[in-house]
């Protein structure tokens, strides 16, 4: 089953410490790749760089910023393919972001 | 004649339902993880049995008959419900399952344990685990579970549906966890069974049939888990704990329906065979490596029932066991029980001192047993006014009228002594 690990962290801190944390994250992603479970994933630019779009009654509304204002923001994600939730949760528990913030494990909608 | 056959078939179907419901749900749902689909297919199969069995007789292997029919119904339902592409994966899994089952057709494997581990998975909300086990393993409907857990049937039904969806969509595995994870995961299963049992046991008068049932069903599940994991000391410990409690069920009320506390119960009113079975389980558990919470709680009960033989609970042992439990759980409830034991081994003042250490815990502000214990110990140390206030507080927190009446009586005795 495919799961996405959504990495929520204090956005300001994550961006400030990008340099030192990048090596840790790369090592973790490499471990997933070696295990043959990594499907993909990306690191996101700071939440302030987001633009949120909503269309109502034919009109497009833009908001400068992320969908929800919060200290902890989505900072990146991994997509993994593992046998079941237990395996996904085990990988999530190893994730550096689970220490700095929260990791949400969400199954991907596929047949 | 036709009526008689109807009745026999109905009874046969009900007997299989009682014995095998969870087994069949577990087998049907093991690969697809679709518990709701399995339950629907099984209820169709039971309906078909009620039509077919009166005409053709009860089959020699009713479980296998039901399983075959349920699978056929399920495949039909899946084809109807899903688009062709979407269904192929599901049907593939079901075909695998049918092959696997056909290979060992004479002896259906027991997947109920896997089903219980899925229901009590850490990703499932703890509050819904016991209801989920009751529904999937025993076939209780949402109304019965709702009434036992004091939740409306509609709300309980919704929560059960959501939990089953979570099992399927989130990919919660149907398997007994590996050795390293087993103790922690088993604890969650045992907690769910104990929650079901406690809901039933907390109906002291036994007037609410559904709740009384729940205590018996909890024991039934406990027996099932203990038989499937006979080397797990905690599984044996929980079963022992439930049996000790059940053995004292009737002794909690006198002939007039008044509450009788443990210390004043007549050991002759305890159910001896249940006590002896519990003692046997506990001694088997103590021979196995590892000691857990349920084993210790059962050991406390064992130290109480020695009163059958010696006339007195073994309070020194009880204090020691509560020390160990407190170190393990840090629970304020355990600390209260420990203080009560200390009052017996070292006198009420020492017990009160142990209770005082808990006074800052806000969780105890509205916890009846804390105030009742406090009132009893204060009364014994001669602090009449404080004891009275504590009794009043305990009375206000108690929902059971019989226990309330008992506390009122104690309070009146105290006032009479003070006069």
E strand map for A44-109: 51-56, 59-64, 72-81, 102-107
Residue B248's pLDDT is 92
Q: Where are the domains of chain B?
A: 1-110, 111-172+181-229, 232-257+265-313, 322-419
Distance CA(B151)–CA(B129), nearest Å, equals: 14
Give the confidence band of B5 by pLDDT, cuts at 50, 70, 90: confident
Are A85 and B121 an interchain contact pair (Cβ–Cβ within 8 Å)? yes
For chain B, the helix, strand and coil percentages under 3-state DSSP, each to the nearest 5? 75, 0, 25
* Residue A5, beta-bridge partner list: A78, A105
Distance CA B134, CA A21 (A): 47
Q: Is the pLDDT of residue B210 over 70?
A: no
Q: What is the average pLDDT across B171-194? A: 91
Q: End-to-end CA distance of chain B, in Å?
A: 76
The answer to whether A81 touches A94, Cβ cutoff 8 Å, is no
Question: B249 with B219: CB under 8 angstroms?
Answer: no
pLDDT band for position B6 (cuts 50, 70, 90): confident
pTM of the model: 0.82
Coil, helix or strand for B22? Answer: helix
pLDDT at B408: 95
Output the six-digit token pair for A108. Answer: 């991907």
**Given pLDDT bands bounded at 50, 70 and 90, which one contains residue B1?**
very low
pLDDT band, very low/low/confident/very high, at B205 (cuts 50, 70, 90)? low
**What is the share, in percent, of chain A residues with pLDDT greater than 70?**
99
Q: Mind listing the pLDDT tens digit for each residue in B293-321?
A: 999 999 999 999 999 999 999 999 999 99
Question: Is residue B194 a contact partner of residue B295, using CB atoms and an 8 Å limit?
Answer: no
The class that CATH gives domain B322-419 is mainly alpha
Cα end-to-end span (Å), chain A: 10
Burial B307-316 (b: 16+ CB within 10 A, else e): beeeeebbbe
Q: Are A107 and B170 in contact (CB under 8 A)?
A: yes
Mean pLDDT, rounded, for A62-85: 93
User: Which residue bears the tokens 């292997």?
Assistant: B61
Strands A72-81 and A38-43: antiparallel
Residue of B nearest to A4 (CA): B170
Q: Find residues 111-140 of chain B whose CB sits inside 8 Å of chain A.
A: 121-123
Q: How confident is the model at residue B200 (pLDDT cuts 50, 70, 90)?
A: confident
Minimum CA–CA partner of A88 in chain B: B171
- Asked if A85 and B171 come within 8 Å (Cβ–Cβ), the reply is yes
CATH code matching the domain that covers A2-107, chosen among 3.30.70.20, 3.40.50.300, 3.40.50.720, 3.30.70.1060: 3.30.70.1060
Top pLDDT among B328 and B54 is at B328
Closest-CA residue to B38 (of B51, B49, B27, B52): B27
- Identify all chain B residues contacting A91, using CB atoms and an 8 Å cutoff: none
CB contact (8 A) between residue A111 and residue B171 = no
Name which of A86, A103, A110 to mutate to probe chain B: the one with the most chain B Cβ atoms within 10 A of its Cβ: A86
For chains A and B, CB pairs below 8 A equal 24
Could B171 and A107 be called an inter-chain contact, meaning their C-beta atoms sit closer than 8 Å?
yes
**Mean pLDDT of the B72-79 span:** 87
pLDDT averaged over every residue in chain B: 88
Q: Check: CB of residue B311 under 8 Å from CB of residue B330.
A: no
Interval B318-372: pLDDT, tens:
999 999 999 999 989 999 999 999 999 999 999 999 999 998 888 888 889 999 9
Give B173's contacts in chain A (Cβ within 8 Å). Answer: 83-86
Contacts B89 to A, Cβ<8 Å: 111
Phi, psi (degrees; rounded to nearest 5) at B253: -130, 145
Q: Do B177 and A85 touch (CB under 8 A)?
A: no
Shortest distance between the Cα of A30 and any Cα of chain B, in A, equals 24
Cα B374 to Cα B387: distance, rounded to the nearest angstrom: 7
Residue of B29, B90, B121, B170 to mutate for A, most A C-beta atoms under 10 A: B170
Evaluate whether B253 touches B402 at the Cβ level (below 8 Å). Answer: yes
**∠ CA B68-B72-B73 to the nearest 5 degrees?**
115
Is the Cβ–Cβ distance between A89 and B176 less than 8 Å? Answer: no
DSSP reduced 3-state for B262: helix
Q: Are A75 and A44 in contact (CB under 8 A)?
A: yes
Higher-pLDDT residue of B311 and B240 is B240
């Amino acid at each position: 089953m495919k799961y996405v690990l959504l990495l929520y962290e204090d956005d300001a801190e994550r961006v400030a410490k990008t340099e030192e944390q990048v090596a840790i994250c790369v090592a973790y992603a490499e471990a997933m790749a070696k295990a043959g479970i990594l499907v993909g994933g990306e690191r996101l630019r700071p939440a302030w760089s987001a633009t949120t779009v909503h269309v109502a009654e034919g009109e497009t509304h833009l908001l400068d910023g992320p969908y929800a204002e919060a200290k902890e923001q989505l900072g990146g994600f991994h997509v993994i393919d593992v046998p079941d939730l237990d395996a996904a949760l085990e990988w999530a528990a190893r994730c550096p972001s689970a220490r700095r913030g929260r990791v949400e494990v969400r199954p991907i909608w596929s047949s | 004649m036709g009526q008689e056959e109807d009745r026999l078939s109905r009874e046969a179907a009900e007997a299989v339902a009682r014995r095998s419901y969870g087994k069949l749900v577990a087998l049907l749902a093991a690969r697809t993880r679709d518990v709701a689909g399995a339950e629907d297919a099984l209820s169709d199969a039971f309906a078909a049995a009620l039509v077919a069995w009166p005409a053709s007789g009860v089959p020699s292997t009713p479980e296998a008959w039901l399983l075959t029919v349920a699978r056929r119904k399920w495949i039909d339902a899946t084809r109807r419900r899903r688009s062709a592409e979407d269904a192929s994966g599901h049907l593939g899994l079901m075909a695998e399952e049918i092959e696997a089952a056909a290979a060992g057709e004479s002896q259906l494997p027991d997947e109920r344990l896997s089903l219980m581990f899925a229901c009590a998975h850490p990703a499932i909300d703890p509050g819904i685990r016991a209801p989920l086990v009751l529904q999937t393993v025993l076939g209780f409907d949402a109304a019965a579970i709702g009434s036992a857990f004091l939740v409306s049937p509609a709300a309980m039904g919704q929560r059960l549906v959501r939990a089953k969806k979570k099992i399927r969509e989130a990919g919660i595995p149907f398997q007994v966890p590996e050795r390293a994870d087993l103790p922690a995961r088993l604890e969650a299963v045992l907690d769910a069974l104990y929650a079901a049992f406690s809901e039933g046991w907390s109906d002291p008068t036994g007037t609410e049939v559904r709740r009384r049932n729940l205590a018996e069903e909890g024991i039934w599940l406990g027996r099932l888990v203990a038989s499937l994991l006979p080397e797990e000391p905690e599984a044996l410990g929980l079963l022992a704990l439930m049996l000790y409690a059940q053995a004292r069920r009737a002794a909690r009320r006198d002939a007039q329906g008044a509450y009788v506390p443990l210390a004043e119960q007549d050991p002759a009113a305890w159910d001896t065979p249940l006590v002896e079975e519990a003692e046997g389980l506990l001694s088997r558990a103590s021979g196995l490596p590892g000691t857990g919470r349920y084993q210790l709680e059962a050991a406390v009960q064992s130290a109480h029932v020695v009163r059958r033989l010696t006339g007195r609970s073994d309070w020194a042992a009880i204090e020691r066991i509560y020390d160990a439990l407190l170190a393990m759980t840090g629970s304020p409830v355990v600390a209260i029980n420990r203080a009560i034991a200390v009052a017996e081994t070292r006198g009420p003042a020492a017990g009160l001192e142990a209770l005082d250490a808990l006074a800052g815990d806000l969780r105890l502000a509205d916890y009846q047993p804390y105030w009742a214990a406090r009132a009893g110990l204060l009364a014994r140390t001669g602090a009449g006014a404080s004891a009275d206030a504590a009794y009043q507080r305990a009375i206000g927190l108690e929902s059971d009228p019989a226990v309330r009446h008992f506390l009122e009586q104690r309070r009146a005795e105290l006032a009479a002594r003070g006069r």
